Amino acid sequence: MALLALDTSTDWASVALYDGRAVLAEETWRAQRRHGDELFPAIERLLSSARVGLAAVDRVAVATGPGSFTGLRVAIAAAQGIARGAGASLVGVSTLDVLAYPHAPSKQRTCPLLPAGRTDWYAAFYQERNRRWLRRSPYVVATLPELCRQIGTHTLFVGELDEEAEATLRDLLGPKALFAPPASRMRRAGFLAELGWRALEAEPQTRLDEVEPIYVKQPRIGRSFDQPFAPPPADDVALGLPRRS
């Protein structure tokens, strides 16, 4: 039994193989616009380095964004094909959820950022509450000043922020802006695999065509988002760390 995780949400791409306990192999690379050509060779390298045949893959997890629309569809289409061909179950996990997840132990409010074109960024806010790590906002697209207007307390920024974005956030938020070290801000499919595995344990199979990109473009952040963390998603939608029952 193994789970194959695929993520081509942005210029960065990542694939991983996971067996429910450990990441067996992982590859993260800068694909830019070449996801379509590079994804399958990467999957084949992954399987051979982990010495796992596709016959062992019975679960597939794919990052569903928000991110580059075309990029997202590359991995989702591939994941649908692999799941269909292998008879595996498929789950979609938000790219922002994947970015925030490794920072749960920090207990900081965490805000992953991904470029959304021009001066826009995709973002969401995550925070532990009642010992559960939850997404506390909708997925939004906003400029950094619009986003910072919603931020009152210390916030840990992760994701694909360049130096300029980091400087802007420091200007806007001063000491409230915290930054994870660059390498730990990145997205790795190993985390996607963990989240995907858990989601499939909780709810085994969805229809393949229900796994769709999260196309966040409108509405922009603003009047509809005038309280810092309202409206939070319902708990069953929000991302949870293992549901300790």
Q: Which residues bind other proteins (CB under 8 A)?
A: 35-37, 39-40, 43-44, 54, 57, 69-70, 73-86, 88, 208-209, 212-213, 215
Token pair, residue 27, equals: 């590859």
**Element of type H or E holding 197:** helix 189-202
Q: How far is the CB of 125 from other proteins (least distance, A)?
A: 27
Q: Residue 40 CB, nearest distance to other proteins (Å)? A: 5
- Least distance from other proteins to the Cβ atom of residue 35, Å: 8
Element (H, E) at 50: helix 35-50
Q: Cβ of residue 137: shortest distance to other proteins, in angstroms?
A: 25
Tokens found for residue 42: 């990467």
**Closer to other proteins by Cβ: residue 79 or 148:** 79
Q: How far is the CB of 164 from other proteins (least distance, A)?
A: 28
**In the complex, minimum distance from the CB of residue 48 to other proteins, in angstroms, rounded to a whole number:** 12
The residue (of 61 and 79) whose beta carbon lies closer to other proteins is 79
Q: Which is nearer to other proteins, 42 or 156 (CB)?
A: 42
Q: 36 or 240: whose CB is closer to other proteins?
A: 36
169: enclosing H helix or E strand: helix 163-173
Least separation in angstroms between residue 145's CB and other proteins is 27
> Do the Cβ atoms of 60 and 38 come closer than 8 Å?
no
Whether the CA torsion 157, 163, 169, 170 is positive or negative: it is positive
User: Which one, 104 or 208, has the nearer CB to other proteins?
Assistant: 208
Q: How far apart are the first and last CA of the chain?
A: 24
Nearest residue to 166 via CA among 153, 180, 152: 180
In the complex with other proteins, the residue whose CB is nearer, 70 or 224, is: 70
Query: Looking at residue 104, what DSSP letter applies?
Result: G
Q: Report the DSSP beta bridge partners of residue 129.
A: 132
> Looking at beta carbons only, is 43 or 239 nearer to other proteins?
43
Q: What interhelical angle do 35-50 and 69-86 show, nearest 10?
A: 40
- Using CA atoms, how far apart are residues 66 and 196, in angstroms rounded to an integer? 16
Decide: 83 and 90 in contact? Cβ < 8 Å. Answer: yes
**Cα 218 to the chain's mean position, in Å?**
19
